[in-house]
Amino acid sequence: MTDTTANASPLSGNVLFYGQPEPLSIEAHAKLGVDPVEQPYAFVAEANIVPLTVTEFAPAALTYPVIFVGEARQPVAVMGLRQGENLFVSEAGAFKPEAYIPAYVRRYPFVFANDDVQKRMILCVDRSAAFIKEGGATPLFVDGKPSPYTQQAMEFCNNFEQERQRTEAFVKLLTELELLETREAVFTPRNPDGTAGAPQKIAEYFAVSEDKLKALPAKKLAELRDNGALGQIYAHLVSLLGWDRLIAMAFHKAAASQPAAGNA
């Protein structure tokens, strides 16, 4: 989705998933509330990558490949092999029970945006979120003030902003040390006779080079260990083993969607 208010507002920022982010205010949103939703993550069902903060690398690595993408080397969790397909979230909005849910997803429908005029962060809410309604069960405001629900959301977004800044510093460190290199995720299909077919590239991304990491001076490696960066790097590297699982999941889903032989 795109930010439909971007051309009419000084607010800016990364708003993946947010169809209609609006600065939260008592004037505009006093009557709004949130209704409980049994499977609330339908908005993620068509996202094949989701941003991560660096402190999420270890828990996310148990479920997804954790890679770096784009000019900014944004760390993301890979949830599908194709755009528009998420192998971990059903169309109804349910994450697989074993899947880690990134903080980027959990903060929805709230998000901080940059106010470029006043040079500050503004808490916004996605007015197009399906579970935000007039008279919703959990109000956004009570007695003219942010409700406990909204206060909790504000605290979560504040913490997320701190983690986002920590992530930017981590990526800057990797860049300065020239540890990132271009990698490919490749699938080798099997021919009908059992022999290996031609390899197929399914993704190109940035990852830490183990050779460059090993080549760092011992003092620099010790610094990375002591500031926690080395642990996050290894979590990222271990997560790359998840490409095979992701490929297997994609093939299983494709096979399940095919009509059974003889049922045509």
Total Cβ atoms within 10 A of residue 77? 28
**262 lies in a domain?**
no
Which residue range(s) make up the domain with 50? 6-257
Per-residue pLDDT at 72: 94
Average pLDDT per run of 10 along the chain, which is 264 residues long?
28 66 94 90 94 97 96 96 92 93 96 77 91 94 95 95 96 96 86 76 94 96 95 97 92 76 45
| Tally of domains in the chain | 1
In a domain, 264, yes or no: no
Asked if 50 contacts 104 with a C-beta cutoff of 8 angstroms, the reply is: yes
Give domain status of residue 263, yes or no: no
The confidence score (pLDDT) of residue 59 equals: 97
**For the chain, where are the alpha helices, taking DSSP H only?**
26-29, 57-61, 103-106, 148-176, 210-214, 218-226, 229-239, 242-257
Q: At 157, give phi and psi (nearest 5°).
A: -65, -35
